[in-house]
Structure 1
Amino acid sequence: MVDILCKYIRAERTGNWELHLQTVSEMLSYLAACGHNHYTKSAWIYLQRMSNLHNDHPDVYQHFREGLHVVRRSDRYWAGLSSDLIIEQVLMRSLKTSGGLTRGRGMTEQQRLTWLLSKPACADVNCAMQELTGVSYNTGEQNKDITKARQARDWKDTHKILKYLRDMNPFTSDTSLRSISTGVHAHSTVNVDKAKDVGNAILISMEGKTAAEYNFKKKDQVITLDTKNAVKVDGIAVQIDPQLLFQRLTIIAAKATENFEDVFRYELCSYPPALFDSSLLLREPQ
């Protein structure tokens, strides 16, 4: 999955159309297996339409082959940006900053159209002012990711990962599926490690059906370690609270020792309740 993500970023940054379609296709099985149903349907239809683009719209296909399916704000090789990212970085940013619609202009349809249609004229005025004053905006050839500050930060992050893996070593002789952060072993029915095969089975069942008539079933998706964190008591599913279980086990162990008071000198929790509402949810700052 990390390799797919790296290839997708490369396809977008370099404007590689074929690699873009390849990586989106490779993502499909994982999207389906994880329950991202809208993404699965949308990407499925998108790939079908784009695979026939050279016949339906050969001129658009040729432009995409030349790298124009992404937007570039500079001439550098590694500078391609997805269109939705450009909308956030340029259009939405200018809409919410000084001179934008949210600064007292209003958001009616007429005001939105006037503001949008004026942007090309504003760009021409900007270029004319740069020529008049002899001041221009240029970007260097150096990639920002190879600056000394960025290299130092990446090196620091790499050491953090290595230190974490030394403390939580996943490369052991234990072949069972478990969480390297908590040490919890997975239930025998957990199959998240086979996400690609599960996703491919879902994609096969989608063949020959329209997006409107196909319904995803939760039982066909992968079973994660979290979804199996429950047991049945008298036929009723009971969710296990890891913190409560940890506290009770600690108290039982403390009662079996003579130094019962020493145990309660420490906070009996698997995470600090002063900072967390649950093991994955931070409290709001005060």
Structure 2
Amino acid sequence: MLYMDMVMILKRFIHAERAGLWEEHLAEVEKMLPYLVVAGHYKYVSCLPHYLEAMRSLPTLAPNIHTEFKDGKFTVRQTEGRFNGVWTDKALEKTYNRNGKTKLFTGISQQPAAMEKYLRALPVLTAVSEQTKAMAHLDMDDTKHHEDSNS
């Protein structure tokens, strides 16, 4: 029964993320905590209680942000459509991976210090790139998701 409980928590969490359901998102994150402790995911265990406390205080501390989150704007939508929200860390990972696969090191210094400087600057460069795309209304991918395909 414990396994099925974990599976159901995960399914509800994914549903909340994709559908942009804020209260359900918070409820499922809280339900994950005991399993994360047992699994030894100490970084999550140390951060999630603070995250939950901060997010639950949004109605009084930042009502405008709370309203936006309740409207589903806490997930990243990389394409138009419904039920395609992606949690922010996954979207950031995709962006870092895409921008990290550039040919920037081709033709410039292969020295470790130069590469380290680039890698340290990558998050800032990525943020500027993404903000520029958003300002130009290019922030949505033209790629089709599985729900858009005819198969």
The reply to whether TM is greater than 0.5 is yes
2:68 — aligned with what? 63
> 1:60 Cα shift?
1.0
Check conservation: 2:18, 2:83, Cα contact below 8 A: yes
Cα distance in 2, alignment partners of residues 24 and 143 from structure 1:
26
| Residue pairs, 1:211-250, within 5 angstroms | none
- Post-superposition Cα deviations, 1:132-153, rounded to whole Å, max 9, x if no partner, equal xxxx94647x616x864xxxxx
From 3, 7, 12, the equivalent of 1:2 is 7
1:80 correspondence with 2:91: no
1:17 correspondence with 2:22: yes
2:147 — aligned with what? 143
1:29 — aligned with what? 34
In the alignment, structure 1 segments of 5+ residues that lack a partner are 128-135, 149-286
From 23, 26, 50, the equivalent of 2:55 is 50
More helix by share: 2
Cα distance in 2, alignment partners of residues 30 and 71 from structure 1:
26
Structure 1-normalised TM-score? 0.40
Check conservation: 1:97, 1:103, Cα contact below 8 A: no
- Post-superposition Cα deviations, 1:178-203, rounded to whole Å, max 9, x if no partner, equal xxxxxxxxxxxxxxxxxxxxxxxxxx
The letter for the 1-side match of 2:94 is: Q
Distance change in 2, residues 1:3/1:123 (3 Å): closer
> 1:77 Cα shift?
0.8
Check conservation: 1:71, 1:82, Cα contact below 8 A: yes
| Residue identity (%) | 30
User: After TM superposition, what 4+ stretches of structure 1 lie above 4 angstroms from structure 2?
Assistant: 101-107, 109-116, 118-127
Task: Give me the CA root mean square deviation.
Answer: 3.3
The letter for the 2-side match of 1:88 is: E
**Rg larger for:** 1
Higher relative contact order (CA 8 A, sep 6+): 2
* SS of residue in 1 equivalent to 2:79: coil
> 1:94 Cα shift?
1.8
